[in-house]
Chain A
Amino acid sequence: MQARRTVLHTLVGPYVLDAVTGQEQADFERHLQACEQCRGDVRGLREAAARLAAAAAVAPRLALREPTIAAADRIRQLPPLVASERSARRPGWRGAADRLRLPGSGVPQLRRPWLASLAAVVVTALAATAIVFGVHVSVMQGRMSAMERRDSAIAAILGAHDATTLTAQVRSGGTATVVMSHRARALVFTAAGLPKLPASKAYELWIMSRAGATAAGMLPPDYKGMSGPVVVRRLTPGGMLGLTIEPSTGTGQPTSAPVVMVALGG
């Protein structure tokens, strides 16, 4: 045990430089919780690292300033942690970056989805979506923030370290957005601008694979043009997410062709 601790302690430098990855990073952070001296070391060295950032400063284009500041208007702020939560959190600033890790993350890492240009957008905070996908997403985001308070599952997926955002055009009109965490084997689905349906019809989500289709939830009626969010869990590798138009009572199997299909990778 002592030897292991010593080994972990030598990671102080790499850790401050964000040069420790994967399990080792998790191990070190656990170690940090128990090691007052390490936390002190990290604190001091981090100040030094921040000066390296300052030394690289490049004035941003003026045109970026106002849109960025204005975008804050559309983003709900996280509440402070009250004492009981704080003690349950990791030490330091880990929580602020919202890298929630889900239990059962020993699931093998699946391959990245193929939507090449969008696949790499890592959403570690809701803030990212507003910028990448524009204003209509910010409405969704407002709803997501509201949901976030009710449903920690959504927050956990959006905040997952490996969260990936995919968007796809819906054949009948509108845009579907999927934020997925392979590790959590779960995703959050939302859509913008879907055509309105008569009361007898509704949009329904399916997980589709060679084995067939499994119902993954009905979309609630849209709100300001936004549908969802709906959480889909227990994803398996190689599946597709499909959206169909069905009787509003729901069906056991899809009865119409999907208006959008999203490959989930793996």
Chain B
Amino acid sequence: MVGGKPSGEGELRPGAGAGGGHGEAQGLESVLAEVAKGDHAAFRAVYDQTAAAVLGIVRRVLRDPAQSEEVMQEVLLEVWRSAARFDASAGSANAWIMMLAHRRAVDRVRSEERAAARELRATVAVIEYDEVSDAALATLEQERVRRCLGGLTDLQRQSVTLAYYGGHSYREVAQLLGVAVGTVKTRMRDGLIRLRDCLGVE
């Protein structure tokens, strides 16, 4: 865990981007510290290291390519704006940025769903898992996540991916899967724990 690192110095995250993959987090904390001081070159580096993963997760949730690009830009600019508020004791810079991205995508979906008629996209349960590796960008990292997802029980995997990739609340996931909300809550937690252990997250 990153916990309590005082200076925001560079940190090598083992396993991340071993295949030169996107979302590589090498030294992201120290780059972010420079961004916080208004360094545009550092912001460029953050963009290069994270934009693909940000766009990826946003697009997973939103589906609409044009809207996703817009949200990706918003997320990166939010990183620029809030870089000084990044708190290394709460986790890695990469996890922080992905959290901002996912939240913003989910917020966007939920505000639209409140406005429009609710449509439960039941099909995501089937396609998400197989889609995990985008052929054009298949990297070692993606293979690894895919393999680790494969190690989850069906219910764990569906609970995690419907929430994270599908942007559904846990109550919606319970309804989609036809199981009790209590079951979904624990499957999400257990699924993430298994994923964490499999991926060797510190």
Partner-B contacts on A (CB < 8 A) = 10-14, 16-21, 39-40, 43-61, 64-65, 67-69, 71-73, 75-81, 91-93, 95-98, 112, 116, 119-120, 122, 124-128, 130-132, 161-162, 164
Contacts and interface: CB of A to CB of B under 8 A. Distances in A.
Contact of B146 (A17, A55, A69, A125): A55
Contacts of A119: 115
Interface of B is mostly: helix
A73 B39 CA distance: 10
A75 B132 contact: no
A98 B78 CA distance: 10
A16, A47, A92, A122: residue with the most chain B Cβ atoms closer than 10 Å: A47
Given A20-B169, A96-B96, A53 B23 contact: yes
A56 B136 CA distance: 11
Nearest to B182: A10
Given A75-B77, A93-B91, A162-B111, 8 more contacts: A14-B185, A18-B106, A49-B164, A54-B56, A55-B144, A57-B55, A93-B87, A93-B100
B164 A17 contact: yes
A170 to B, nearest CB: 25
Contacts of A18: 99, 102-103, 106, 163-164, 167
Interface residues of B, number: 98
A36 B60 CA distance: 32
Given A44-B196, A112-B114, A60 B81 contact: no
A180 to B, nearest CB: 13
Nearest first, the 4 closest Cβ-Cβ pairs linking A and B are A13-B189, A54-B23, A13-B188, A57-B22
Nearest to B167: A18
Contacts of A47: 91-92, 95, 196, 201-202
B170 A53 contact: no
B73 interface: yes
Interface string B73-89: 11011101111111100
A266 B59 CA distance: 31
Contacts of B72: 60, 64
A60 B73 CA distance: 10
B186 A127 contact: no
Interface in B104-131: 104, 106-108, 110-112, 114-115
B73 A64 contact: yes
B82 A120 contact: no
A92 B90 contact: yes
Contacts of A96: 82, 85-87, 96, 100
Contacts of B193: 45, 48
B31 interface: no
A189 B1 CA distance: 44
Nearest to A47: B201
A98 B56 CA distance: 23
A77 B38 contact: yes
Contacts of A76: 81
Contacts of A127: 74, 77-78, 80-81
A56 B77 contact: no
Contacts of B73: 64, 67-68, 71, 131
B52 A60 contact: yes
A159 B28 CA distance: 26
